[in-house]
Amino acid sequence: MRNPKLLEVRGLRAAYGATQVLHGIDFELEAGRITALLGANGAGKTTTLRALCQTVRTSGSVLFDGEQLVGKATENVVRLGVAHVPDGRGTFTALSVEENLRLGAHVRRDKAAVARDIDKAYARFPRLGERRRQQAGTLSGGEQQMLAISRALMLAPKLLLLDEPSFGLAPRIVTEIFHIMRSINREDQVSMLLVEQNASLALDLADHAYLLETGRVALSGPSERIQHDESVRKAYLGY
């Protein structure tokens, strides 16, 4: 049985100034699933996430839960329930860990539920709880990534966009974070769109994957098929 579509992207194009980066890509996301976006450097993975959040000039169609996102202001896309963990993590470095989390829930009005979710974040990543009063810029890379994911979850999003959560982290931390991402997907039914350079890691976690090549979708399919198709692996993933 297929889940209902949460996101339907058609002919998505994006450009930085005169440089066209996405040349019309199509993909869709099923609700409740983890979808991976793979590809080499410069394929347009990060730009795709930025295009969904409208932080880059975009054309085409992005239907999220029936609403057209193209042309909306970033903050209004976010208010529909799209949380973005950007590349570079987007930490508010001069604010405390707890203030970062409270900001994640900026658009929510239910104070009790927000307080519960902050406790939940500390239960999920105890190290954040230990450092709740600490200036976020002093956290280690792994802790900042935990904070970035927790901050995004504070929105109580329907869709979580993750830009290379493994970037620059020790393998042990990456394993821990990916493990928790899986449990967030299963327990809280948060759909995820995961951008990763580390393809084998991403395919282990994701249900479905798209391969981008210089701004176009080169291939798509269930993760298992991509993982086990040797020619695909050699041609596109390089392992």
Give the shortest CB-158-to-another protein separation in angstroms: 14
From start to end of 34-148, where are the E strands? 34-38, 57-64, 67-68, 82-85
Site for another protein contains 156 (CB under 8 A): no
Site for another protein contains 141 (CB under 8 A): yes
From start to end of the chain, where are the E strands? 5-16, 19-30, 34-38, 57-64, 67-68, 82-85, 159-163, 191-196, 208-213, 216-222
Stretch touching another protein by CB under 8 A, among 22-30, 31-39, 72-80, 119-127? 72-80
Give the shortest CB-218-to-another protein separation in angstroms: 28
Number of H helices, E strands in the chain: 10, 10
> Among residues 141 and 222, whose Cβ is nearest to another protein?
141
Cα 213 to Cα 42: distance, rounded to the nearest angstrom: 8
Site for another protein contains 140 (CB under 8 A): yes
Phi, psi for 2 (deg, rounded to 5): -90, 140
Stretch touching another protein by CB under 8 A, among 56-64, 100-108, 115-123, 226-234? 100-108
Output helix, strand, coil percentages for the chain, rounded to the nearest 5: 40, 30, 30
Could you say which of 3, 68, 71, 106 contacts another protein (CB under 8 A)? 106
> Among residues 73 and 113, whose Cβ is nearest to another protein?
73
Q: Which residues bind another protein (CB under 8 A)?
A: 53, 55, 73-75, 78-79, 83-84, 86, 90-95, 99, 102-104, 106-107, 135, 137-141, 151, 154-155
